[in-house]
């Protein structure tokens, strides 16, 4: 009788464990799907007028407090998406990066865009550093830069008035504590930063400005690429 009872409880225990594992697995799967949906539906309207309005808004530049993305942080970002001060967009055609650029590095901003790292940044003037998340999905946010970028790739920035073209000349890993790469410079350049696979270091891409032109005068292909959906839209 005792052996029968023990066997019964073992069966119940195993069944409970299996059910819990199934529930946890389903939770992880649907969490990811919900997170992807929240990110993919972020499609801000970017015009010269909205950019000018957003340039006057306050932004948080405390990069040390940036946290890894999860469902809670992405959901919070979507709820506050209208507050994100979008001031342009970045395009790296070779690796299929196309993202809004927003002021600052708050968790809300970096969940959906590339963020500026200094308050005094101006496209085409001095050093223009941007930070973005590197995700498990290789085609989201700044992930393609980590997995696919190479020296020689072209990077385009626009404020919807001008398009600034940069060429990547340096691709290297730096310490997470190395903030010297975001300092202002005399020479016009761009600095793109994202986490490595461990989170302890950063991948830094640096490029030099090789030209700029009016947005309306740019070739149709480039204008079309800027009008396409963002690569955060899965």
- How far is it, in rounded angstroms, from Cα 221 to Cα 84? 28
**CA triple 124-39-30, angle to 5 deg:** 155
Burial class of 232 by CB neighbour count within 10 A (0 to 12, 13 to 18, 19+): buried
User: Rounded to 5 degrees, what are φ and ψ at 216?
Assistant: -70, -20
* 115 CB-contact burial (10 Å; exposed 0-12 / middle 13-18 / buried 19+): buried
Residues 127/189, Cβ–Cβ less than 8 Å:
yes
Smallest CA-to-CA distance from 160 within 96, 225, 87 is with 87
13 φ/ψ angles, rounded to the nearest 5 degrees: -65, -45
Contact between residue 62 and residue 77 where contact means Cβ atoms under 8 Å apart: no
State the catalytic residues.
Answer: 133, 195
Q: Which residues contact 198 (CB under 8 A, 6 or more apart)?
A: none
**What is the 3-class SS of 76-97, one letter each residue?**
HHHHCHHHCCEEEEEEEHHHCE
């Amino acid at each position: 009788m005792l052996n029968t009872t023990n066997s019964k409880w073992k069966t119940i225990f195993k069944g409970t464990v299996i059910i819990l594992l199934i529930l946890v697995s389903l939770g992880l799967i649907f969490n990811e799907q919900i997170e992807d949906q929240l990110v993919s539906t972020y499609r801000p309207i970017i015009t010269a007028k909205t950019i000018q309005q957003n340039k006057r808004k306050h932004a948080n530049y405390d990069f040390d407090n940036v946290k890894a993305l999860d469902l809670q942080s992405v959901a919070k970002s979507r709820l506050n998406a209208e507050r994100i001060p979008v001031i342009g967009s970045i395009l790296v055609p070779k690796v299929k990066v196309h993202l809004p650029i927003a002021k600052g590095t708050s968790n809300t901003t970096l969940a959906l865009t590339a963020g500026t790292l200094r308050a005094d940044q101006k496209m085409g003037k001095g050093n223009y550093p941007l930070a973005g998340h590197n995700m498990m999905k290789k085609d989201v946010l700044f992930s393609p830069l980590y997995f696919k970028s190479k020296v020689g790739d072209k990077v385009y920035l626009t404020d919807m008035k001008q398009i600034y073209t940069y060429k990547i000349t340096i691709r290297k890993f730096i310490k997470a504590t190395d903030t010297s790469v975001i300092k202002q410079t005399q020479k016009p350049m761009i600095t793109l930063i994202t986490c490595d696979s461990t989170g302890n270091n950063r991948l830094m891409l640096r490029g030099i400005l090789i030209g700029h032109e009016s947005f309306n005068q740019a070739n149709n292909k480039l204008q079309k690429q800027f009008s396409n959906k963002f690569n955060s839209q899965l």
